[in-house]
Amino acid sequence: MKGKLSCYIIDDEHLAQEILEEYVAKVPFLELKGTFISPLEAAAQLDEDKPDLLFLDINMPDLDGLSFIPMLNPKPMIILTTAYDQYALKAFELEVKDYLVKPFSFERFYKGVLRLYQEQGNRQLPERTEVRADSKHEPVYLFLKVGHRIQKIATRDILFVEGMKDYLRIHTAKEKIMTLLSFAKLEELLPTQDFARVHRSFVVAIDKIDHIEKNRIRIADQIIPISDTYSDSFYKKLRGLI
């Protein structure tokens, strides 16, 4: 199989569809053939188009994604996109290719589809810079659960992130945003070259640092400590930027 990977998006959430459509459009070797709100809506068209890849949600009305997978014959490659992590074991028993937990970054999305593309063989790999999430010509965003909504946050607007027990408080120049997310997950989503963990309770945007004095960082009107645990890696990153 040569050329682009043709793909479908099957997800009943309009915002999730938009995010995936935006991600797919950035990747030169993906070709979106259709977007559907349910497996039942996509079923008839699947037989005609026979896409290479499905981006499939799990929890949907009428028929959930996990129940739909065994019905597929022939079965395309499948990447599950879901807000729930408890189905991962069942998903891989069904031989899905990847399991993306919402909200996921473009970088994480790209790693997954690039691996599938390479596995197909006989493909000319695109230049990495064509689709880098950190391109200066492409704004990078996070889509985070905030209360009962999913909020879009430009990473360039983030000053620093503060740990608040089970929550994270994201500080921007205009607002403070609380989200139920772990630091480990956040660090996976953020562009690694632009942010640094400096304390078990703080991640900072490097370009927002006003100054550093006595292992304390000044950002806007906030003083942020640098702990011994993270100081070596933080200063090493700074040296690489100077």
Q: Whose CA is closest to 223, among 237, 233, 213?
A: 213
Instruction: Determine the pLDDT at residue 130.
Output: 34
Query: Strands, DSSP E only, in 105-233?
Result: 141-146, 149-154, 158-164, 167-172, 176-179, 195-199, 202-205, 211-213, 216-219, 222-225
Instruction: Determine the pLDDT at residue 192.
Output: 83
Instruction: Determine the pLDDT at residue 121.
Output: 60
pLDDT by 10-residue block (mean), the chain, 242 residues: 82 92 93 92 86 92 86 90 84 86 89 84 40 44 78 90 89 91 84 90 94 93 93 86 58
Model-wide pTM > 0.85: no
Domain 5-130: which CATH number of 3.40.50.300, 3.30.1340.10, 2.102.10.10, 3.40.50.2300: 3.40.50.2300
Instruction: Determine the pLDDT at residue 169.
Output: 93
Instruction: Determine the pLDDT at residue 19.
Output: 93
Q: Which CATH class is domain 141-241?
A: mainly beta
Where exactly are the structural domains of the chain? 5-130, 141-241
